[in-house]
Each structure stands twice: as C-alpha cells, then as structure tokens.
Amino acid sequence: MTTEPVGLSVNLPSQRVMQARVGDADIAVWRGVSGKLSAWLNRCPHRGMRLSHGFVRGESLACLYHGWHYGSDGVCNYIPAHPDLEPPGTIQTTVFSIIDQDGVLWVSVDGAAGGQDLPGDSKPVRSITFSCSAKAAKDALIGSSVADGSGGELSIHDIAEGSNRLEFKSANGLNSVVVLLQQPSDQSMIAHILAAGDWSVDGMIGISRWSETVRRQAERTKNVPNSDCQDEL
C-alpha cells in the first residue's frame, strides 16, 4: 500500500485546494467549508481539466473550466449549463483515502491511508521543496545539524530503515525535529518539517532557516538538475 505525506494540515485551510502527487498519481487535495478533507485524481471527468485549479463551494469542488460541481463523495451534483438537470451518478471522480494525523495529511492511492505517529506535542514548521535528486536532499539533511535558536544543536538521531523519515534530537532528548520526506518526481523532494518539545519563536524560525540552508546545499551538488526551487506547498 502506498501512503505518503502530501502536506501539513495547517497549509490547507478550509475552502482551499492544492495539488499533490503520490507515486504516479496526480492528485487534487481539498478541504470543504466544514473542514472535511478529500483527495481525488486530479482530472475532471468532463474534459480533463486539473481539479486542483478549481474552487471550493461549500462541500463541493467546482471545476475551473465549465464549473461542474463534485460533492465530497466525488459525484457530480451540479452542471451550471443545465441547472435543472440532476447529473447522472455515473459522472464521478476517482476518490482516494486521506487522513489528517498529528497535523500531517496522508494520502493512499491503493487502500486506506495510514499515517505515522509523531511526538504528541509536534508543531508544524513548514514544507519545503528541494529541486534535486532524493539522494542529494537526503544526504544533505542527514549531514546537517539543526540550530535550536539558543546556541544549541540537534543532530540526526533516527533514520528509519526503508523509510523517508528523519528525526533530529537535542543532546538532552527533550526537543526533536521530524522531517517527513516525499518524492513527487525524480528531480524533486519535499520535506515536511515538524518540531516537538519546547521551542521559542526564534527556535522555530531557526528550523525554517536551517531547511533553506540545507536545500541550497543539496541543490549545489552534482545531482542537481537545475537550480530553480519552490517554497511552501
């Protein structure tokens, strides 16, 4: 089963939609006005427009092109050109499983999504995209230390075997930084970063700056396909 972290919950407020990628699947992730999450194949059943370009209307997502509305069950429920027509239930998107666990959005394209446990007091820091190979990004992260904003450093503590999860810990073990890695393509890696423990505002800013420094370092390596980069998801 393929479940991947596609973003931080804080970066997808209600009535917003974003694009994500899990394996080969291009995905539209959106949140209705009630906060309900949906993850769909990013292709409108009508003419194929990316649904991530659409807009949320209550508990439906409207396609940008001709405005067809799809409810949270993925079924078309309104066609603006035929307002009195009840759309056939066969007009529906491909729906994937999504959960919000400890502030991280996890999507599965082939079964029920299951996230990873994080330290109970984890707080979101940011998501940052590395425009380089997964190896270059991971090597740069593992080879770095996280400044804690008060002169101390957190060093790499845990690299789960076969997993794209890195954990840094302070010397006293009280503070930690968890990095969840997601590879949307051969030439990019997204790091979703969370901090647990007692962090000041300066400390949180320090983690964010550390991630930018590591990204620049990774993108300077020979694995870099280009130097363009993007910040927040």
Residues in contact with 25: Cβ distance below 8 Å, sequence separation at least 6, in sequence order: 41, 96, 109
219 by DSSP, 3-state: which? helix
- In angstroms, rounded to a whole number, what is the distance separating the alpha carbons of residues 99 and 50? 22
Residues in contact with 183: Cβ distance below 8 Å, sequence separation at least 6, in sequence order: 134, 164, 189, 190
Binding span for ligand FES by CB under 6 A among 44-52, 144-152, 184-192, 215-223: 44-52
- 135 sits near ligand FES (criterion: CB under 6 A): no
- 47 sits near ligand FES (criterion: CB under 6 A): yes
- 66 sits near ligand FES (criterion: CB under 6 A): yes
Give the Cβ contact number of residue 88 at 10 Å.
9
CB 79 within 8 A of CB 96: no
- 76 sits near ligand FES (criterion: CB under 6 A): no
For the bound state, the minimum distance from the C-beta of residue 66 to ligand FES, rounded and expressed in Å, comes to 3
Element (H, E) at 99: strand 95-101
For the bound state, the minimum distance from the C-beta of residue 84 to ligand FES, rounded and expressed in Å, comes to 17
- 56 sits near ligand FES (criterion: CB under 6 A): no
Q: How many residues bind ligand FES (CB under 6 A)?
A: 8
- 28 sits near ligand FES (criterion: CB under 6 A): no
Instruction: State which of residues 12, 37, 39, 44 lies at the interface with ligand FES (CB under 6 A).
Output: 44
Binding span for ligand FES by CB under 6 A among 45-53, 119-127, 129-137, 195-203: 45-53
How is residue 229 written in tokens? 């980069």
- In angstroms, rounded to a whole number, what is the distance separating the alpha carbons of residues 99 and 164? 18
- 70 sits near ligand FES (criterion: CB under 6 A): no
How is residue 93 written in tokens? 């998107």
Site residues (vs ligand FES, CB under 6 A): 44, 46-47, 49, 63, 65-66, 68
